[in-house]
Amino acid sequence: MFEHLDDPAPPQFGDRFRQVVVRRAHRRRRHRRLMAGAGVALASVVVGAGALYGRAAWRARDVARVEVAGTGEVAAGEPVTVLVLGTDGRLAAGRTADVLMLARLDPGAGALTVLSLPRDLMVDAPGGGGPVVVNRVGTGDLVGVIESQIGVPVDHVVQVDIDGFRSLIDRVGGVDIRVDAPLRDTASGLHVEAAGCVSLDGEDALALVRSRRLEVLDDSGTWVRDPLADLRRIENQRQVALAALDALAEGGTDPVTLNGHIDWALDHVTVDATLGTDDMVRLARAAAALDPSAVSEASLPVVPHPADPNRFALDTERAPEVLTAFTAGRALPAAPAIDAGSASRPLVDAATVAGC
């Protein structure tokens, strides 16, 4: 019925035609053999990946652990509150922390709440001593102090040393943040020349989170010392930590990456003795699956300490609202750490929060 579409003079299918057919057929067979080879290779990769995952879980058991009073296991799927510490060296029962953050991860809701504590916060020394700066409290007692004096139940402790912080950021290819104005700190070696979205490598990020004499370039072109000092620092630490979390999540959890992270953790991370390998894997998975918009963060509201204006005390007026929200897993109210008027506005934001 389609004869009207026929070629009136069809060609002869001679040697040239035939050669093309044979050549293409051979190429096809070769290709098929290659594909079969690729299939076998792929299968080995999958099996190898399984082995690597197994190895990752096995090796994660070797992460350094320390006994911390007050920590304990949490059932799978339940919200977990982790005290995150940054220290100059390895965590030991008596060592003090420079960075203190409380992170509440709710795997069911896919939500993360982060609350920074200033290291110059005054607390009562454990065992009935006088007032003491919180970072002088040994790690073994720290959870007890936070639970009884700040009123936040803590389940686990995770500590990262400062070298680990730097190498983690280099591992994930830098962190993306947004700065409100050019920043510098000649003491810590920080120099961010332009406002806007910037990517920091490990060294720069470290200079930012260590900066206690931050200077901000104001509109008239002069460098002005930021009045918030340590409160600014903990804010910046939190933003960099969140940006690092984003970068980590972006890197994925394929077995090679995962094993790299575990290598890193073996060198730089210490956890409390009740945090099991399964818990670590669960936390890592939940953190990797976080939606940046489901992150709520703030600093603990404080006031200058009556006895020493360079130290802080809990702001008994503003803190309860923040702490209640944190414990209940609600979004934290947007309250600055200290009521310092326009100087309280944030200078640094994690890029995903800022929408870079």
The contact set with another protein (CB under 8 A) reads 1-2, 4-7, 10-11, 13, 17-18, 20-29, 32-33
Report the residue number, 11 or 309, with the smaller CB distance to another protein: 11
Report the residue number, 24 or 212, with the smaller CB distance to another protein: 24
Q: Is 216 exposed, middle or buried (0-12, 13-18, 19+ CB in 10 A)?
A: buried
Could you tell me the CA-to-CA distances from 271 to 88, 158, 259 in Å, in that order?
Answer: 16, 5, 18
Report the residue number, 8 or 89, with the smaller CB distance to another protein: 8
Output the smallest distance, CB 31 to another protein, in A. 9
CA distance 199 to 217: 19
Could you tell me the CA-to-CA distances from 231 to 168, 314, 338, 344 in Å, in that order?
Answer: 24, 13, 8, 9
Residues 6 or more apart in contact with residue 121 via CB below 8 angstroms: 133, 134, 300, 302, 311, 312, 313, 314
Report the residue number, 4 or 345, with the smaller CB distance to another protein: 4
Q: Is 316 exposed, middle or buried (0-12, 13-18, 19+ CB in 10 A)?
A: exposed
Question: How many CB atoms lie under 10 A from the CB of residue 66?
Answer: 18
Output the smallest distance, CB 44 to another protein, in A. 21
CA distance 315 to 170: 37
Output the smallest distance, CB 38 to another protein, in A. 15
Output the smallest distance, CB 36 to another protein, in A. 8
Report the residue number, 2 or 309, with the smaller CB distance to another protein: 2
* Beta strands 111-117; 99-106: pairing state: antiparallel
Tokens of 83: 């005290």
Output the smallest distance, CB 35 to another protein, in A. 11
Report the residue number, 31 or 61, with the smaller CB distance to another protein: 31
Q: Contact 199/87 with Cβ under 8 angstroms?
A: no
Output the smallest distance, CB 39 to another protein, in A. 14
Output the smallest distance, CB 157 to another protein, in A. 54
Q: In 17-98, which ranges are E strands?
A: 64-66, 80-87
Report the residue number, 8 or 341, with the smaller CB distance to another protein: 8
